[in-house]
Amino acid sequence: MYPVDRAGQRLRLRELHPDDVDAVFAVYGSAEATQHMSFEPRSREQVGQIIDRATQSATTDPRTEYALAVTTQDDGDVIGFARLALDPHQPQGATIGFALRPDTWGAGRGLETVHLLLDLGFDGLGLHRIWGARSPLNTASARTLTAAGLIEEGVIREHVRKNGQWRDSVVHAILDREWPKTPRTRTV
């Protein structure tokens, strides 16, 4: 599917553009936003490379990765980065990841972002299973995934290497039959 453009009540998921680099850097370059993620804060140059790869992979056929900008509906401000990647050996499954700029946290935008990713995966791509992995210390992510209907399934032990140490991940997942079709998101 290309281009992706999915609108919710306040937010929108759209394809990344090269000129989104500063906005994405405000998220991926932030020590606060990346504290519980699997990587250290990215440099602006690294964010540029991530966006280059995202725009290239967006037009591959078949498409296996959807790395997208999260924007506000009203003024188009890019407030975050959202990703859905098909599982390599089970393409009806996918992982999701998401991160918003810290000054936007705490007002329901994380939940709406996950709703939009699920809407893309289930309604847009016909997937069967969508899952995410979070740090055990990432309470905000746990609450957001749970609020969106993903069920905590278990722990992947020593899954991520960060700061010279192994870190477990907690897996949350949702199946297509568990995804309620409600009018909370609409597709454009």
Shorter beta-carbon distance to ligand COA: residue 14 or 36: 36
81/34 Cα distance (integer angstroms):
12
Residue 32 has phi, psi (to 5 degrees) of -70, -45
Residues whose CB is less than 8 angstroms from the CB of residue 156 and which lie 6 or more positions away in sequence, other chains included: 133, 168, 169, 170, 171
Q: Report if residue 107 touches ligand COA, rule: CB under 6 A.
A: yes
85/105 Cα distance (integer angstroms):
24
3-class DSSP state of 34? coil
Q: Report if residue 140 touches ligand COA, rule: CB under 6 A.
A: yes
Shorter beta-carbon distance to ligand COA: residue 1 or 147: 147
Q: How far is the CB of 72 from ligand COA (least distance, A)?
A: 12
Shorter beta-carbon distance to ligand COA: residue 14 or 134: 134
Q: How far is the CB of 61 from ligand COA (least distance, A)?
A: 29
Helix (H) or strand (E) holding 22: helix 21-28
Residue closest to ligand COA when measured from CB atoms: 110
Residues forming the site for ligand COA (CB under 6 A): 33, 36-37, 97-100, 105-111, 132, 134, 138-141, 143-144, 147
